[in-house]
Amino acid sequence: MDTIQETQTLPDVELVDPREAFAKPPFPQQEPFAMPGSTANMKPKPDHGEQNYRGSGKLKGLNAVVTGADSGIGRAIAVAYAREGANVVINFLTEESDAAETKTLVEAAGSKAVVIAGDLREESFCEELIEQSCDRLGSLDILVNNAAFQVVEETLEDFSTEVFDRIFKTNVYAPFWLSRAAMDRLPPGGSIINTVSIQGYNPSPYLLPYAMTKSAMIGMTKAMAKLAMERGIRVNAVAPGPVWTPFIPGSMPKDKFENFGANTLFERPAQPAELAPMYVWLASPEASYVTAEVYGCTGGMTPV
């Protein structure tokens, strides 16, 4: 017998000029704060999809770990995943109040939220994070390697070995350790999704070590995808351009963040909420034929 799909009555879509959809520079002076930074004092506040993201069950019943989920892109991913029906482990470093706010948003969507603080530069913690996540959620289906660290300097000599080491440990070592630990836990159909960057293709000199790590993560994504597919696990990445997160006022001097994103075709940075749907799709069965890919969300700055 033929199956007839019911027609749902949905409201009309209202189109918005993408150039005017969100805040544009110049941005006001921000209260100084240290990395990784907090959402609380940002002007304007980032949009993580709190008001507008509507789920449709794309990830219902799945369990996800999102690193750096206290704010920025990580929070937007956690909110979207929860509203799509997934339970979420919220990993963060130090910003407890931001992590608590993400937890509240996840739970408000009817999903389970587990908050686990820790330093991803420690191999033992990365392994512990995966183990705790599986224990507390019962299983693991999605790993999002999103946490990162950056420092802005004007000359090569200004980048200390200590800073270089911290950036690489956070941005490259940690995703490798986490992915390796998760590989035996993820089922066929599971996903690893990495946050890379336009910096991996078009590096800025003042972000030299950070740009190097993002190039490395692109290579890691493509190589790991070939190994992971032997187990039926997909590995992909999203490459943002400029995004309005605590990273920006937390690491950049006024002359750089004041007009942040003005060089894109939209003449503004992205908001975290604009990236989250890409992570939802990549984690869902709808992307079943997608692996080893890097999807750009750069505001038209470069073909990724």
Which of 53, 201, 210, 279 is labelled catalytic? 210
Nearest Cα neighbor of 96 from 56, 48, 39 is: 39
Residue in this structure with the two tokens 């995004």, named with its chain if needed: 243
Residue 163's contacts (CB-CB under 8 Å, 6 or more residues apart) are: 151, 153, 209
Nearest Cα neighbor of 106 from 48, 160, 26 is: 48
What gap in Å lies between CA 234 and CA 289, rounded to an integer? Answer: 9
Q: Give me the count of residues in the chain.
A: 304
Residue 177, both tokens = 């350790």
- Check if 210 is active-site: yes
276-283 vs 72-83: helix crossing angle, rounded to 10 = 50
Cβ pair 237, 295 in contact under 8 A: yes
Nearest Cα neighbor of 64 from 142, 146, 175 is: 142
- Active site positions, annotated: 210
